[in-house]
Amino acid sequence: MNPMPNALDGRLDARLAHYFLQVLDSGSVRGGAEVLGVDPSVVSRAVSTLEQECGACLLERKGRGVQPTDAGALVADYLRRQLSQKRQLLEQLDSIQKVQRGHVDLMAGEGFVDWLMQRVLHGFMARHPGITVDLSIGRTDEIARRVVEDRAHIGIAFQPPKDGRLRSHHSHSYPIQAHVLDSHPLAQRTPPLDLADLLPYPGVAMHHGFGLQQHIEAAQTVEGVRLNTVFTTSSFNAMSHFVLLGLGYVLSSRLLAVPQAAQARLVRLPMKNPILSQGRVHVISRHGRVLPPAAGILLRDIVGGIDSYASAGTGAP
């Protein structure tokens, strides 16, 4: 008889499960131990004990780290579902009369931080002082993965992958344009522009995991061009500095942290390629997940904030 079902029926120690999942999140036993604040040997023994209870090897080495075996992936998925269901139950019981306490895990792209803090979270946290919020910043693929794995209640991402496990509660258009200083030669061109118009000039690109960059790469494939990228980054803030310092152009929906004095010098040039004009930002959660009351209220505030922001004529955040 396979011992795994019996183990998973109730004999799994919560500490072992926590250690195992932290190793997977960190990519190594040593990394997991550092996060947990324990000696790596303690984590290693915990994983070994869990493997004995499950009757299967759960981890295999990959380079300097580890990755789950097929059995490990199944156990991790089971444990995450169990933890998610437990959190949901506790949060709902805690807030059954009134949302006075609770916690929300929110994940978004860097470009939405200013808007979230100023237009949504400022008011939300003032109205609900007993609710704690964790805001993590990441790429589109990271946001989608955390939502699917129930590690984030809500995600805000540019063009998340088409995945039946994701539910979009709201979306709005987020066209990609070329941004340059008014002294740049492209500022004299009449839009909309082809990607080929950008070829003679240096540009900046985000790392591949960002939905923005994936859209730009798809447009390059359609037009059969390869842009002259001289700077790559995972920071939208660094991308903005690239333009403001006169180093070249950037393809983006918007720029971050642009000083008021520099606003007048920026020129935004629409692009002709339909792929670049059809991008959308989505507010997502995992399909089928019943959000705890605190997360449900924040979700409504986010969607309502986007609607009011757009209706005021200031555009999408």
CATH number, domain of 235, equals 3.40.190.10
- Residue 116 belongs to some domain of the structure: yes
**Which residue range is the domain that position 55 belongs to?**
3-81
Mean pLDDT of the residues in the chain: 86
> Are the C-beta atoms of 193 and 251 separated by less than 8 Å?
no
Q: SS3 for 228? A: coil
Query: Cα separation of 27 and 9, whole Å?
Result: 27
> Are the C-beta atoms of 108 and 80 separated by less than 8 Å?
no
Domain boundary among the residues 50, 81, 112 is at: 81
So what's the pLDDT on residue 183? 94
Do both 110 and 74 map to the same domain?
no
Do both 196 and 163 map to the same domain?
no
| The model's pTM | 0.63
So what's the pLDDT on residue 226? 95
Do both 144 and 227 map to the same domain?
no
What do you get for the CA distance between the two ends of the chain, in Å?
56
Q: What is the pLDDT of residues 61-86, one digit of tens each?
A: 888 888 999 998 999 898 888 888 88
Do both 271 and 259 map to the same domain?
yes
Do both 273 and 211 map to the same domain?
yes
Do both 158 and 112 map to the same domain?
yes
Do both 234 and 112 map to the same domain?
no
- Residue 71 belongs to some domain of the structure: yes
Q: What is the pLDDT of residues 8-26, one digit of tens each?
A: 544 557 888 889 999 998 9
**What DSSP string describes 229-280?**
EEEEES-HHHHHHHHHTTS-EEEES--SS--HHHHTTEEEEEBS-HHHHS-E
Query: Cα separation of 204 and 236, whole Å?
Result: 10
Task: Give the mean pLDDT of 219-233.
Answer: 95
pLDDT exceeds 80 at position 222:
yes
- Residue 94 belongs to some domain of the structure: no
Q: What are the backbone angles phi and psi of residue 162, rounded to the nearest 5°?
A: -75, 110
pLDDT exceeds 90 at position 96:
no
We report the CATH number of the domain holding residue 66 as 1.10.10.10
Q: What is the tally of structural domains in the chain?
A: 3
Do both 268 and 295 map to the same domain?
no
Q: What is the pLDDT of residues 136-178, one digit of tens each?
A: 999 899 999 999 999 999 999 988 989 999 999 999 888 899 9
Do both 194 and 249 map to the same domain?
yes
